[in-house]
Structure 1
Amino acid sequence: GHANPDEAIQLVNLRLSAIGKLTGLEPRQERAGGEARKGRRPVWFKPTGWIECAIYERDLAGRIEGPAVIEALDATIVVPPGWTARPNESGHIIMEASSHGE
């Protein structure tokens, strides 16, 4: 290994395990997708070609209609046209195809 004490370090992933008692968990409140919007960019979808998509920050994302991209430090989630993405109470992203989706 190599260590240079004069250089800064960056932690990209840190995990912690803990044991304890919780009095209860509050479910996450759904947020409006507009709060999380970071910008727009073209994204390629095979059936349609390039589509201008909204880009959202995952930690702030609420219900999002595709086409869209949800970005996080460790993942990128593509929401195709005709699909919806939303966080559940635990923060997992749930994607559902609309009845008219492809």
Structure 2
Amino acid sequence: MQVDDIADKVKEASILLKSIGNEVRLLILCSLIEQKLTVGQLNERIDISQSALSQHLAKLRADKLVTSEKDGLCVYYSIARPVVMEILKVLQAEFCPPDGDNNA
């Protein structure tokens, strides 16, 4: 693999990790693990203003971590890439173990 190819992949990975590294965006992504949700449904789960939530969703869309799909008047958000789901599952296993399985 050429250095330029590696540099492109490192940049892509860095964008993904920076986006996930924000607490609010990570909470949004964790909320989308099980199902697609609307802004209103996300807003019920995450205690920030709707405009702030929309800005975070726009960043996640720009970074290609979530997709949006319109269904009538509702816009549903879901995780866009399998790698994002895999990272979230690793984080969930490490930081949110099932009850009674606390290794800390």
Higher strand proportion (structure 1 or 2): 1
TM superposition score normalised by structure 2: 0.26
**Higher RCO (C-alpha 8 Å, min separation 6):** 2
- The structure that has the greater radius of gyration is 1
